[in-house]
Structure 1
Amino acid sequence: MLDLYERLWEGEPLGPDDYVISADEKSQLQALERRHPDLDCAPGRTRRVEFEYQRHGTLAYMGAYDVHHGRLIGTIAEKTGIVPFEELVTKVMTTEPYASARRVFWVVDNGSSHRGQPSIDPMTNAWPTATLVHLPVHASWLNQIEVVFSIIARKAIRPVNFADLDELAERLRGFETRYNEDPRPFNWTFTRSDLLALCERIEARQRTLAA
């Protein structure tokens, strides 16, 4: 996966028509409506947000991030699952330039929507140019879509104040449109060598503690 971030696959450079997609689901996005409107910032006063709210349900945002071009493609569902993930894959794989790509690599974690070999075979059968690449367990922090989700949380969701689920969905779609107006890939610097060095330090620390 880290090789893919450096545009390598099995020791060979990726071509111009190869793409790397980082994908995952952001579940349990709540549509909370505050009892009273927010008070904006003023001289000597920070923004104030009402602490009482009504719950209007939750949505899931399925995100696919083009690692090397900075583009974001998403879908919205009532909840996460195999079918919503397949809908995201279909949306990406039928959109140019991915529809005409030689290869599209999908970097995913081990969530239930796309876990293990049972997720690889259906995807390969449906989309022969797609390759599903699973992160190691407990390594979601290496998935670039998680960075995008943190931006969504800070820039589009907080402070949470939505009258209903439609308003929340509209905000998510609007953010995606705005994000793609000036797409910029992340300056990812953590490489395979960095990961191996980290593992060596952890192992050395464990040996010291066990001695």
Structure 2
Amino acid sequence: MPVASAVPVVLTASERHRLKKMTYGHKTPHRARQRATIVLLAARGRPNARIAAQTRLHVDTVRTWQGRFAAGGMSALADRKRSGRPVSFTALQAAEVKALACQLLAETGVPLSRWSCPGLAREVVARSIAGSISASTVRRWLKQDALKPWQYRSWISLRDHAFRPKAARVLDLYAHTFDGVTLGQDEYVISADEKTSFQARCRCHPTLAPGQARAMRVNHEYDRGGALAYLAAYDVHHARVFGRCEPKTGIRPFMNLVTQVMTTEPYASARHVFWIVDKCLASFMSRDGGCTRVWEAPVSKVG
């Protein structure tokens, strides 16, 4: 049986330059480099069997790419469009999955706190929306519409109709203003808060310092010292923090924090020190080394 003769390949100067760049380019894909090498060797008049041996490819592969280049030029070296795998899900199924992701869990009866892609995939199968579906498919569909049902954002509903004028005083103090007058250099604003149930724990063994080729070592065993309350006062305009631990919360522990701050300079000799706390705004004025409290209208806490 006669062997089919190789299709002659003739290159232009520009085609030869592009093929050489594809052959020796460091970022050229391996398949593109092989095809360019086949065409260059064929243009030198080498037979297909020799090209196959030199490139370690099958002779049919060499013959195919040589013929495609001879028929279509440089564009024929690219992969042809493939039909791909048949579609497994319809557009209606994708829309139903997205609609399910936008529903509240309380409405669906699913015992979850929030949706996740694996949870949605299980619910899709349970509702017979699809016979089977993977979490990655659900994630890809949600990403198309930027849906993230596992995230949530909380908000505060204002129930106090007088919140705006009450909060305005706090915001003015943060802006270094009180009653329309700019605060002086001897006037300070302190924001105070507390953290309850702060666990006091002591390590059973001391921590070892790091050394050469050795990380710091911390023993995992500890003794519980009980729950404490941490009270802190922050100078808004001077970035200074005062803190103390108390066995419990209340007016007396809070007044201990106030005394700690108000007996320290420059607050002890200040003309006004404004305190912003959770429930009320108090103005403390230093008199003979002590403090006089002037309680203002209650305001909601402003972060």
Report the TM-score, using the length of structure 2 for normalisation. 0.35
User: Rg larger in 1 or in 2?
Assistant: 2
Report which structure shows greater RCO (CA 8 Å, sep ≥6).
1
Report the TM-score, using the length of structure 1 for normalisation. 0.48
